[in-house]
Amino acid sequence: MYIKSLIYEDQSTDWELKSISFKQLTLLVGASGVGKTQILKALLNLKKISRGHSLNGLKWEIEFSTSTGHDYKWRGAFQNKGFIPEFVSRFDDSDEKDKPYIDYEELIINDVLIVKRDKDGIVFDGEKTVKLSQQESVLFLLKEEEKIKDVHEDFKKIIFDDNAGDNSKMPRFGFDDEIDAKLEQYKSLDTIRNSHEDIRTKLFLLYKNQYELFRKIESSFIDIFPYIEFIKIEPTRNGFKKLPIFLRELPFIQIKEKGVPHWIEELKISSGMFRTLMHIAELHLCADNTVILIDEFENSLGINCIDELTSSIVSSERNLQFIITSHHPYIINNIAVSHWKLVTRKGGVVTATDAEAFGIGASKHQAFTQLINLDAYTDGVVI
């Protein structure tokens, strides 16, 4: 998927995003609280809608292309049932009839209207369908149709990098029989990339089935941390002695430092190092046409990690799209001004403007200095 533009409104909270366009790499900059993270969440909400979720009060229009080369425009709106606190809606298990219904929805492919929906029903490819759920998007209801299938699948390729350096959680490889099944199913690089496994599991599959390619990721990691010798993903032998035996047999990421006799187990790897490894793995193992959303890219990363990972994203030769937020001067300085979007907010209305429109200079250093001295940056929120 390649996202071209987005218009979005949460009518239940009076939060609105004016039309924003995206490039292969888009860096959202601006003061805290202007809505940079909310833009990423808006895209994730559209992914949820494509998977059948009913989201109160949302109204949207998104333009994108898919791996098939077709251009799409998808617009729609859910009924507004008034403000519902997020923690309530997240755990709400109310009956289907209580969920907000869709007021209207349209899907246009290559400038041809394919789906038109209102409260009276759905017209697909010129024919009215049988009565279908009013709470679920046509991208979900008609996902088996040839003209819809690619769109539904491509929305799965929007991923949110939620500071993946959290190695405090148990890995999700599964138990022995599940591990064996995955190792048999995903043997080639393409099958690993196109699986719906998480990045940590993909890295394990690569380690077992494509070790020479795994060594490339290991080499990139060692370039950033030259005191590291090796990485392996195997059952741990030194720690977790209090865990049940079946958990001790799960594969864990482990690193070997020069001059240190024992392997360092996953839970003892620093969050910055672990997140760096996950970022590198992500760049190698995401499916083609993935849209990677990264909020506050600099979180948990040392300057050595920021340097190399920013360079890797900027120079990536894979068919990936990045939408990133950051406050860090190194990251902002090393991404061309032409990729910046300066985000500002007036009340509940958010605007993202090309930074070049503010006359920011050609020099990277001068550009960052001009940015932080702009009123639109320092006073990003206007009530």
Each of the 383 residues of the chain gets a pLDDT tens digit; together they read: 999 999 999 999 999 999 999 999 999 999 999 999 999 999 999 999 999 999 999 999 999 999 888 999 999 999 998 877 665 555 455 556 678 999 999 999 999 999 999 988 999 999 999 999 999 999 999 999 999 999 999 999 999 976 545 555 555 555 556 888 899 999 999 999 999 898 999 999 999 999 999 999 999 999 999 999 999 998 876 555 555 555 556 788 999 999 999 899 888 898 889 989 999 999 999 999 999 999 988 876 777 788 778 888 887 888 999 999 998 888 888 888 999 999 999 999 999 999 888 888 666 667 878 887 888 877 777 65
Rounded CA-CA distance 182/145 in Å is 28
**Closest residue by Cα to residue 155 from 293, 271, 58, 55:** 293
Q: 37: which 2 tokens?
A: 């993270």
CB-based contacts of 268, cutoff 8 Å, min separation 6: 239
Query: Quick one: pLDDT at residue 354?
Result: 93
Name the phi and psi angles at 69, rounded to 5.
Answer: 95, 0
**CA-based R_g, the chain, Å:** 23
* β strands within the chain, DSSP E: 2-10, 15-21, 25-29, 58-65, 71-78, 102-109, 112-118, 121-124, 127-128, 158-161, 228-235, 251-257, 264-265, 291-294, 321-325, 340-346, 349-354, 381-382
**Whole-angstrom Cα distance, residue 342 to residue 27?**
9
Distance CA 191, CA 374 (A): 47
Cα gap 192→185, rounded to integer Å = 9
Angle at 345 between CA 11 and CA 314, to 5 degrees: 105
Alpha carbon 382 to chain centroid distance? 29
Q: Which residues of 326-342 are buried (b: 16+ CB within 10 A; e: fewer)?
A: bebbebbebbebebbbb
Length of the chain: 383
Going across the sheet that includes 264-265, the strands are 228-235, 251-257, 264-265
C-alpha triplet 9, 297, 90: angle, nearest 5°? 45
Three-class DSSP category at 105: strand
Q: Strand pairing partners for 110?
A: none
Place of tokens 């910055």: 272
Distance between CA 292 and CA 27 in Å, rounded?
Answer: 12
* Distance separating alpha carbons of residues 142 and 137, to the nearest angstrom: 8
- Predicted confidence at residue 137, as pLDDT, reads 96
Q: What is the DSSP letter of 337?
A: G
The CA–CA distances, whole Å, from 254 to 168, 213, 261 equal: 14, 18, 13
Residue 334: name the closest of 362, 310, 356 by CA.
310
What is the CB-side half-sphere exposure of residue 13 using CA atoms within 13 A?
16
Phi, psi of 314 (to 5 degrees): -60, -35
